[in-house]
Structure formats: C-alpha cells, structure tokens
Structure 1
C-alpha cells in the first residue's frame, strides 16, 4: 500500500497485510506519518515537557484520573 506522510509529503510503502495499512484503509480519518517526522515530533515534545511550561490537557472523565 502506498502512503504519504501528512507533514513532509514523503511517499512510502507499507505491506498490505500490516496492521497500520488495515487501519488506514478502514478508517480514512487516520493519517500516516513517516518515521522521521514521528521521531522529530516526539523529541520536540520531550524537550517541551522538560522546560516545565508544558501542560497536559486532559478530560475530566474518571478514567483519566488513573492516567
């Protein structure tokens, strides 16, 4: 299955029987991000958390209390 990263527009290839490929086929709202963009966003998020100014926005559901 051909996929395109939503951030950098890099075209990639996923095996047709991969779980992510099935998710993208069955739920069009889900988007694909390449490994480089995913890693870059994760690193920047960790850096923002380390500054102490990052606030997690969570819902008020009772299940969130255990998170």
Structure 2
C-alpha cells in the first residue's frame, strides 16, 4: 500500500497486512506519519518534557506527559 506522510509529503510503501495499513483502509480519517517525522517529534517532545514546563491537559486536570 502506498501512503503519504502528512507532515513531509514523502510517499512510502507499507505492507498491506500491517495494522497501520488496515486502519488507513478501513478508517480514512486516520493519517500516516513516516518514521523520520515520528522520531523528530518524539525527540522534540522529550526535550520539552525535560524542561519541566510541558503539561498535557485532559478533562480539566493537569497531568504530566510521560515518555
């Protein structure tokens, strides 16, 4: 299956039997992100978490993000 990264517009091929491919086929609202973009976002988020100023707010309660 050919997929396109939502951030960098890189086109990649993934196996049809992977769970991600099945999600994209059955629910088109799901999006694909390439490994390079995923790693870059993970690294940047980890850096922000380590500063101590990053919090995730869910349902009105303050919770810290844990890697």
Superposition TM-score, scaled by structure 1 size: 0.84
**Uncovered stretches (5+) of structure 2, i.e. residues with no partner:** 61-67
SS in structure 1 opposite 2:56? coil
- Measure how far apart 1:52 and its partner are: 0.9
For 1:22, the equivalent position in structure 2 comes to 22
More strand by share: 2
Which structure 1 residue ranges, 4+ long, deviate > 4 Å from structure 2?
none
For 2:59, the equivalent position in structure 1 comes to 59
- Measure how far apart 1:35 and its partner are: 0.2
More helix by share: 1
CA RMSD of aligned residues (A): 1.7
